[in-house]
C-alpha cells in the first residue's frame, strides 16, 4: 500500500517541543506530536470506495491487513509523524480557552490527482488536549459520523468526508445522557478526511495569547495551501481571506437550511476555515418543520443552536474569527463591512434557495410573503419537512384543490388539520399555483428541478439508531444499506421506498432518535 505522503501542516508550522502526552497548556505551537493508542482487536466494518480512490488506493488495498493497521492506529505509516492540533474556541457563546484535538489524531497528508487530503483518526487515544477525556470514541457516535459525513457530501453540502469505520476491540465507558449512569460501549475509530481540519479556533488560540507571530504563520500557511489565488501576506490579502471564509460559511449554512440539517454544536472550535461541515456530534434532520428545534440535550434549555438560529450563529462565529484576525490588519472597518454584508447576503441566498425548493425560476422579493405563509402553515400542524417538499413537486398546475391531498403523507396527525388550517392551506396552494402559472415550465420540468434540490432520503436519527442497534449485535448490513441509499439521496430508488417515511412513533422520544448528547 503506497500513499503519496505530502505533509505540510506539521512541517511548515511550529510544533510543541514537549513530547509527553500529559494534559497541559501548549504555547507557541499549532500541534503536538502524539501516537495513536494501539487497539486490542481492530476490525474493519466499512470503508468508502470514493475516498479510498481519492487518496490513491484501490478497493483491494482497502481490504488489506496494512490498511487495517494504518487506519486503526495500530501502526504508523513510514516516514510520518502523527499529531494533535492545538486550538481554542467559544462554546455555547462562552470563551473556553485552549481546547484542541482531544480525541483526534492527524496521521498525515496525502496528495493525489492534484488534491490534498488530511487523514485523521477520531477515537484513537489521548492527546495533551484530552482534558478530562480518554481520547476514545464509541461505535454509536462513530457510525453516526461515518454515515452522515458521506451522506452530506452526496446531498451537495460542503463537508468533511470519511474513509473508514473500525471497531477497536476495546470497551469504552460513557454516560450517554450525562445523568450519572455510565455504561460500557463498544469502542470504534473513524478515519476522517478533509483538505484541512483547521478551525476558527486555531486562530483564536494565538489571538487570545497575543501571539501575533504565530497567528501570522498560521494565516499565511492557510492562504498558501487552501486559498492560493490570494496573493501576498498583506493586510488586503487577510481581508480577502476573511471574505472568502465568510462566503463559504454562509454557503454551508444555506445548504443546511435547504435540507433541514441541524448541526447541534456550532461552537467556534467546530467551524471549519474551509467552510466545511465538521464534527458530527448531536446533529439531526428536521422531522416536523420547526425553527426552534435542536437535537442537542446540552442546548435544550437555551436552544442557541436551534435550526432557525444557525444563520445568526454563523455570523456570530465569523465575528469571533474577525476578532482573531484583527491583529494582522489593525483596522476594524473592513471586517465590519463584511460582517454587515453577511446578513443581506443570507437574505438573498435564502430567497434564491426557497425559489429553487418551490420550483420557481423567476426570483422576486415579492415571493417572500408566499414563503412566510408556507412556513406558518408548516408549523401549524406537525409536518415532515423532507417529505413535504419532495411531494410538492408532484403538484399539477391548474389543480390547486388537489394539492393538499398530494402532500397529505407529510402530515403526522391529519386529524389536527381543522377547517381553519385547511382553509389556510387552500389559500396558499392557490397563491402558489398562480406563481406556477406565471412561469412557462412544464410540470415535468419543474418536478425535475425541484427533485434536484429537495432530497427524498436523508439520514434521520431513527435510521442511524437502527443501524447502531444492529451493529451492537455484530450485524453491519444496515450500515452498508444506508450508506448506499444515501449516495443517491435525490433519486427515487423505488426499492428503498420504506425509508421515505416519517419518523415512527416509537422513535419520538427514544434516546438517539429525538435528542442526543455530545457523548461519544
Active site residues per annotation? 269
Element (H, E) at 218: helix 212-226
Return the C-alpha cell found at 4.
503519496
| The three-state (H, E, C) secondary structure of 412-454, written as one string | CCHHHCCHHHHHHHHHHHHHHHHHHHHCCCCHHHHHHHHHCCC
Cα–chain-centroid distance for residue 202?
18
Q: Return d(Cα 352, Cα 479) in angstroms, integer.
A: 35
Q: Return d(Cα 259, Cα 152) in angstroms, integer.
A: 10
Return the C-alpha cell found at 9.
501542516
Return the C-alpha cell found at 321.
474569527
Crossing angle between the packed helical segments 461-472 and 139-155, to the nearest 10 degrees: 140
| The three-state (H, E, C) secondary structure of 485-502, written as one string | HCCCCCCCCHHHHHHCCC
| 90: Cβ contacts below 8 Å, ≥ 6 apart | 96, 204, 267, 268, 269, 317, 320
Element (H, E) at 46: strand 43-47
Crossing angle between the packed helical segments 235-259 and 333-357, to the nearest 10 degrees: 30
CB neighbourhood size of 68 (10 A): 18
Return the C-alpha cell found at 451.
427533485
CB neighbourhood size of 182 (10 A): 13
Query: For residue 121, what are the β-bridge partners?
Result: 105, 191
Q: Return d(Cα 359, Cα 367) in angstroms, integer.
A: 12
CB neighbourhood size of 217 (10 A): 17
How would DSSP label each residue in 400-419?
A: GGGHHHHTGGGBS-GGG--H
Return the C-alpha cell found at 402.
388537489
Place of cell 512541517: 11
Q: Return d(Cα 101, Cα 86) in angstroms, integer.
A: 7
Amino acid at each position: 500500500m503506497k500513499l503519496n505522503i505530502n505533509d505540510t501542516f506539521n512541517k511548515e508550522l511550529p510544533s510543541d517541543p514537549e513530547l509527553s502526552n500529559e494534559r497541559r497548556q501548549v504555547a507557541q505551537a499549532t500541534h503536538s506530536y502524539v501516537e495513536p493508542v494501539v487497539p486490542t482487536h481492530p476490525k474493519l466494518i466499512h470503508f468508502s470506495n470514493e475516498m479510498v480512490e481519492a487518496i490513491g488506493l484501490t478497493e483491494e488495498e482497502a481490504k488489506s491487513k496494512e490498511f487495517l493497521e494504518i487506519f486503526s492506529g495500530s501502526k504508523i505509516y513510514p516516514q510520518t509523524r502523527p499529531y494533535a492540533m492545538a486550538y481554542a474556541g467559544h462554546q455555547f457563546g462562552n470563551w473556553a480557552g485552549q481546547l484542541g484535538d482531544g480525541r483526534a489524531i492527524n496521521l498525515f497528508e496525502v496528495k493525489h490527482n492534484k488534491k490534498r487530503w488530511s487523514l485523521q483518526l477520531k477515537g484513537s487515544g489521548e492527546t495533551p488536549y484530552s482534558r478530562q477525556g480518554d481520547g476514545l470514541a464509541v461505535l454509536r457516535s462513530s457510525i453516526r459520523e461515518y454515515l452522515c459525513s458521506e451522506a452530506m457530501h452526496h446531498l451537495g453540502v460542503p463537508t468533511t468526508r470519511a474513509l473508514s469505520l473500525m471497531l477497536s476491540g476495546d470497551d469504552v465507558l460513557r454516560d450517554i445522557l450525562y445523568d450519572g449512569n455510565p455504561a460500557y460501549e463498544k469502542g470504534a475509530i473513524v478515519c476522517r478526511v478533509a483538505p484541512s481540519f483547521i478551525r476558527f479556533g486555531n486562530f483564536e488560540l494565538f489571538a487570545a495569547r497575543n501571539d501575533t507571530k504565530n497567528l501570522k504563520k498560521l494565516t499565511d500557511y492557510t492562504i498558501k495551501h487552501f486559498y492560493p489565488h490570494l496573493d501576498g501576506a498583506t493586510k488586503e490579502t487577510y481581508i480577502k481571506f476573511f471574505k472568502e471564509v465568510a462566503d463559504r460559511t454562509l454557503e454551508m449554512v444555506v445548504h443546511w437550511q435547504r435540507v433541514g440539517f441541524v448541526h447541534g454544536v456550532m461552537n467556534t472550535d467546530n467551524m471549519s476555515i474551509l467552510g466545511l461541515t465538521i464534527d458530527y456530534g448531536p446533529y439531526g434532520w428536521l422531522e416536523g418543520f420547526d425553527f426552534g428545534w435542536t437535537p442537542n440535550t446540552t442546548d435544550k434549555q437555551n436552544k442557541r443552536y436551534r435550526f432557525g438560529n444557525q444563520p445568526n450563529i454563523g455570523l456570530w462565529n465569523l465575528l469571533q474569527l474577525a476578532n482573531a484576525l484583527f491583529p494582522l490588519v489593525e483596522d476594524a472597518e473592513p471586517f465590519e463591512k463584511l460582517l454587515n454584508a453577511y446578513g443581506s447576503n443570507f437574505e438573498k441566498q435564502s430567497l434564491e434557495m426557497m425559489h429553487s425548493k418551490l420550483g420557481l425560476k423567476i426570483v422576486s422579493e415579492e415571493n417572500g410573503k408566499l414563503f412566510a405563509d408556507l412556513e406558518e402553515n408548516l408549523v401549524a400542524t406537525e409536518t415532515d419537512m423532507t417529505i413535504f417538499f419532495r411531494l410538492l413537486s408532484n403538484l399539477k398546475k391548474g389543480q390547486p384543490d388537489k394539492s393538499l391531498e398530494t402532500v397529505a403523507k407529510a402530515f403526522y396527525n391529519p386529524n389536527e388539520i381543522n377547517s381553519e388550517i385547511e382553509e389556510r392551506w387552500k389559500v396558499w396552494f392557490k397563491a402558489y399555483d398562480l406563481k406556477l402559472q406565471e412561469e412557462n415550465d412544464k410540470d415535468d420540468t419543474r418536478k425535475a428541478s425541484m427533485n434536484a434540490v429537495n432530497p427524498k432520503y436523508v439520514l434521520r436519527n431513527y435510521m442511524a439508531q437502527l443501524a447502531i442497534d444492529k451493529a451492537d449485535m455484530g450485524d453491519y448490513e444496515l450500515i452498508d444499506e444506508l450508506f448506499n441509499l444515501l449516495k443517491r439521496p435525490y433519486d427515487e430508488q423505488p426499492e428503498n421506498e420504506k425509508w421515505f417515511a416519517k419518523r415512527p412513533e416509537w422513535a419520538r422520544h427514544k434516546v438517539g432518535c429525538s435528542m442526543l448528547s455530545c457523548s461519544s
